[in-house]
């Protein structure tokens, strides 16, 4: 294969990573933006989404599409419910203290990971893609499912943007993000907003995981990379900026795809981490974040 | 209307209010004056449920509210204009008003009424509130509170940093609300603004109300201003 098609393949692979990463990182960014909670358990919620997807798909007989569709609904909802319980049982009791919640979510990460290991086992397990369409390009064939993942991520991200910018729930979330105390003085139950945002963030991670699990397989340690990359994306994009998060996910995802294909995945991670260091030194508010007044 | 009886409140181990009592009658403007640190803003926050009341009672029209969660307080009809305005800066004027309308008020009718009071805001509905001038921001802070159709309006230093024409506008609105029967509780540092608006003046020191004086008996030279405010 000559350079051009090879590059196209790399970019396509990068777009798929970027799509999954954008969904995961937007969840992490929302939680940090609104609640000021650094959720170290975000990767564990991602992993749990994949594991539940496998369980649901495995339990349902019939065509793979049915099991996958059920997983697409059940896994994000189940993970969101768990996250709401963590918010109520742990984070709220800590008064959303920024330092204490970091330690607490590290604890949640280990509990969820070990629970998955005990119940699910140490093996990686595949979930069948809902359809097997191969798109034949002149130079190579490409998975139709992977392109569907990109399209699904675009739709979900658009929906998140619409909810945040146009709906009453989004208005309330933004008010809480800007000034929680004043939001309460105008009748907003910020505790409910926090629980909802934490559930939404975790649900987005789980949704990303369900989408990725036909490509990547479910494994109880699969949450590490998405967590690290989400932090990288959220820092580069600018905390609290949805647009910045999505653009940074594209930048990191596509460049990782290209560098991985031409060089090595390790070099891709080194470069991404280096970029974070540069952003933190030269533009600590991120590419699209605003400096705190 | 509002009756604060012997409350104590503060932040963690630090008690700011101690033995504070004050009545705020309907249809009157009650001004609160005192030096920095006297507890004026903390008193408003205690009424709003934003600072925990550890002892004593707060009652609105006879209903005890000091144990309510903060987000339940505005629904009872208490509008609050915090110190420094505390607008939702990254939201538009229209969105700030929409936040005010969420809990109480009569929707579009209330919105129209409030925008009629501040026509300048009507021209700026799509503008981010942090890009407004200081005076316009204060108008919006008051407008947002009025969206609750409050029975009690509490304003924390609303004239701070404003030019005279804006102060006059704020005064006009406050007096109009008073005439409509709203109870107004106004924290204010400027003697001229207090004398132009107040029916009663409460002087605070050391976290409690030391003296309540009917405004008609006060002149700028009154000894209370020197004693409690230092002017």
Rounded mean pLDDT, A167-184: 94
Angle at A242 between CA A244 and CA A84, to 5 degrees: 140
According to the model, what pLDDT value does residue B154 have?
Answer: 96
Would the pLDDT of A171 be above 60?
yes
Cβ neighbors of A110 (< 8 A, separation 6 or more) are none
**Token pair 């209330």 is at which residue?**
B110
Domain boundaries, chain B: 2-229
Here the ipTM equals 0.92
The answer for A 136-195 residues in CB contact with B (under 8 A) is 168, 171-172, 174-175, 178-179, 181-190
**Under 8 Å between Cβ of A49 and A179:** no
Q: Is B218 in a helix, a strand, or coil?
A: coil
- Is B148 at the interface with chain A, CB within 8 A? yes
Find, in chain A, the residue whose alpha carbon is nearest to that of B47: A185
Find, in chain A, the residue whose alpha carbon is nearest to that of B82: A182
Lowest model confidence (mean pLDDT) among A113-122, A284-293, B25-34: A284-293
pLDDT in tens, A24-60: 999 999 999 899 999 999 999 999 999 999 999 999 8
According to the model, what pLDDT value does residue B190 have?
Answer: 87
- B2-229, superfamily in CATH? P-loop containing nucleotide triphosphate hydrolases (3.40.50.300)
d(CA B1, CA B23): 8
**E strand or H helix at A102, and its extent?**
helix A98-120
Banded pLDDT at A293 (limits 50, 70, 90): very low
Find, in chain B, the residue whose alpha carbon is nearest to that of A166: B95
pLDDT, greater one: A194 or A141: A194
Domain boundaries, chain A: 3-282
User: Residue B2 phi/psi, 5° resolution?
Assistant: -105, 135
- Is B128 at the interface with chain A, CB within 8 A? no
Cβ neighbours around A263 below 10 Å, total = 12
According to the model, what pLDDT value does residue A291 have?
Answer: 59
Number of H helices, E strands in chain A: 11, 2
CA distances from B168 to A96, B117, B162, B174, B193 (A): 42, 13, 10, 10, 9
Q: Is B51 in a helix, a strand, or coil?
A: coil
Protein fold of A3-282: ABC transporter involved in vitamin B12 uptake, BtuC (1.10.3470)
Cβ neighbors of A159 (< 8 A, separation 6 or more) are none
Cβ neighbors of B149 (< 8 A, separation 6 or more) are B77, B104, B105, B106, B110
d(CA B120, CA B132): 11
Look over chain A and give the mean of its residue pLDDT values, rounded to a whole number. Answer: 92
According to the model, what pLDDT value does residue B218 have?
Answer: 86
DSSP letter for A232, please.
Answer: H
- Residue ranges of chain B with pLDDT lower than 70? 105, 231
Rounded mean pLDDT, A112-141: 91
According to the model, what pLDDT value does residue B12 have?
Answer: 84
pLDDT in tens, A194-250: 999 999 999 999 999 999 999 999 999 999 999 999 999 999 998 778 889 999 999
CA distance to partner chain A, nearest, from residue B41 (Å) = 14
According to the model, what pLDDT value does residue B221 have?
Answer: 86
The CA dihedral of A35, A292, A288, A188, to the nearest 10 degrees, is 30
Cβ of B71 and A171 within 8 Å?
no
d(CA A235, CA A54): 31
């Amino acid at each position: 294969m000559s350079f051009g098609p090879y590059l196209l393949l790399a970019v396509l692979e990068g777009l798929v990573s970027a799509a999954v990463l954008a969904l995961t990182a937007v969840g992490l960014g929302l939680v940090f933006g609104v609640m000021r909670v650094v959720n170290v358990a975000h990767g564990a919620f991602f992993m749990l989404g994949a594991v539940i997807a496998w369980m649901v798909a495995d339990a349902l007989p019939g065509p793979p599409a049915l099991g996958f569709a059920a997983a697409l609904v059940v896994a994000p909802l189940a993970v969101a419910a768990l996250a709401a319980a963590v918010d109520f049982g742990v984070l709220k009791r800590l008064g959303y203290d920024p330092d204490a919640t970091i330690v607490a979510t590290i604890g949640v990460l280990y509990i969820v990971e070990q629970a998955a290991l005990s119940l699910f086992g140490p093996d990686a397990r595949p979930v069948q893609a809902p359809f097997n369409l191969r798109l034949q390009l002149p130079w190579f064939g490409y998975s139709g499912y992977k392109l569907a993942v990109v399209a699904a991520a675009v739709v979900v991200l658009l929906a998140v943007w619409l909810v945040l910018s146009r709906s009453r729930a989004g208005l309330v979330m933004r008010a809480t993000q800007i000034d929680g105390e004043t939001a309460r003085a105008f009748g907003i139950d910020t505790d409910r907003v926090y629980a909802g945002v934490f559930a939404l963030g975790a649900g987005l991670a789980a949704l990303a995981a369900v989408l990725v699990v036909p490509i990547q397989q479910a494994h109880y340690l699969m949450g590490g990379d998405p967590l690290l990359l989400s932090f990288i994306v959220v820092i580069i994009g600018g905390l609290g900026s949805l647009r910045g998060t999505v653009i940074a996910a594209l930048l990191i995802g596509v460049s990782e795809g290209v560098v991985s294909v031409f060089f090595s995945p390790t070099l891709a991670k080194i470069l991404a981490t280096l970029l974070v260091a540069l952003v933190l030194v030269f533009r600590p508010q991120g590419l699209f974040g605003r400096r705190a007044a | 209307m509002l009756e604060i009886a012997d409350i104590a409140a503060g932040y963690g181990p630090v008690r700011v209010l101690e033995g504070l009592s004050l009545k705020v009658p309907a249809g009157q403007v009650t001004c609160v004056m005192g030096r920095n640190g006297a507890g004026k803003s903390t008193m408003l926050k205690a009424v709003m449920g934003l600072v925990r009341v550890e002892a004593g009672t707060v009652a609105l029209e006879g209903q005890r509210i000091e144990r309510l969660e903060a987000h339940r307080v505005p629904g009872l009809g208490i509008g609050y204009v915090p110190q420094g305005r505390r607008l939702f800066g990254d939201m538009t004027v229209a969105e700030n008003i929409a936040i005010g309308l969420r809990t109480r008020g009569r929707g579009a009718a209330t919105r129209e009424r409030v925008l009629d009071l501040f026509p300048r805001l009507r021209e700026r509905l799509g503008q981010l509130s942090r890009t407004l001038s200081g005076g316009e921001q204060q108008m919006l802070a008051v407008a947002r509170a009025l969206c609750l159709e409050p029975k009690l309006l509490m304003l924390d230093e609303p004239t701070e940093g404003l030019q005279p024409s804006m102060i006059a506008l704020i005064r006009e609105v406050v007096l109009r609300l008073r005439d409509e029967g709203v109870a107004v509780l106004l924290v204010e540092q400027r003697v001229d603004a207090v004398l132009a608006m107040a029916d009663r003046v409460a002087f605070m020191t050391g976290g409690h109300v030391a003296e309540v004086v009917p405004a008609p008996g006060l002149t700028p030279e009154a000894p209370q201003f020197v004693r409690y405010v230092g002017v």
